[in-house]
């Protein structure tokens, strides 16, 4: 099976994408709060209850890549080229700038009780997880 998955990378990626998508969607659709039925949810609340699932899924993506032997091609095990880190700087600065604007906007209207250091760390951690799935 591993040989077939290695020789059909597009199909393998689509299967993995479908599985991960199903894991996220089924959990959300099965919830009573799906489709906007959660009256307690608002723009300043991020549901961090899913973070453990996201960490496990991110780890499984990396494990799957290594199991298929695609570590070098996916740049997981490739040597680090410090010159390439300059490509990360603009998106990181934009993300930090947006986070800063969000904090400034929240301080003008008064910080909600949910806006804590853990909240900010959670936002940054979820943002980092996006890179793994991308």
**Tell me: the pLDDT tens digits for 42-88?**
555 566 677 788 888 888 988 999 999 888 888 778 777 777 778 77
User: What's the CA gap between 77 and 74, in Å, rounded?
Assistant: 8
Model pTM?
0.54
User: What's the CA gap between 85 and 80, in Å, rounded?
Assistant: 9
Per-residue pLDDT band for 18 (boundaries 50, 70, 90) equals very high
Q: In sequence order, what are the residues at sequence separation of 6 or more whose Cβ sits closer than 8 angstroms to the Cβ of residue 50?
A: 27
One domain for residues 66 and 19: yes
One domain for residues 69 and 120: no
Q: How many domains does the chain have?
A: 2
One domain for residues 63 and 19: yes
User: What's the CA gap between 28 and 74, in Å, rounded?
Assistant: 30
Tell whether 40 is covered by a domain: no
Distance of CA 69 to the CA centre of its chain: 23
Owning domain of residue 133:
83-134
One domain for residues 63 and 93: no
Residue with tokens 């453990």: 52
One domain for residues 70 and 91: no
One domain for residues 87 and 26: no
One domain for residues 51 and 89: no
One domain for residues 2 and 52: yes
The mean-pLDDT minimum among 38-52, 62-76, 94-108, 111-125 falls in 38-52
One domain for residues 26 and 65: yes
One domain for residues 11 and 67: yes
**Per-residue tokens: 20:** 């991960």
């Amino acid at each position: 099976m591993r040989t077939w998955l290695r020789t059909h990378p597009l199909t393998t990626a689509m299967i993995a994408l479908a599985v991960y998508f199903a894991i996220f969607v089924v959990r959300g659709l099965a919830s009573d709060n799906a489709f906007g039925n959660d009256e307690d949810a608002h723009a300043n609340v991020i549901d961090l209850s899913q973070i453990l699932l996201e960490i496990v899924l991110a780890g499984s993506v990396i494990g799957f890549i290594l199991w298929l032997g695609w570590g070098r091609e996916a740049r997981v095990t490739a040597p680090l080229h410090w010159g390439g880190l300059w490509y990360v700087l603009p998106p990181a600065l934009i993300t930090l700038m947006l986070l800063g604007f969000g904090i400034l906007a929240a301080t003008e209207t008064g910080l909600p009780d949910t806006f804590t250091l853990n909240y900010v760390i959670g936002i940054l951690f979820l943002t980092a997880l996006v890179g793994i799935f991308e």
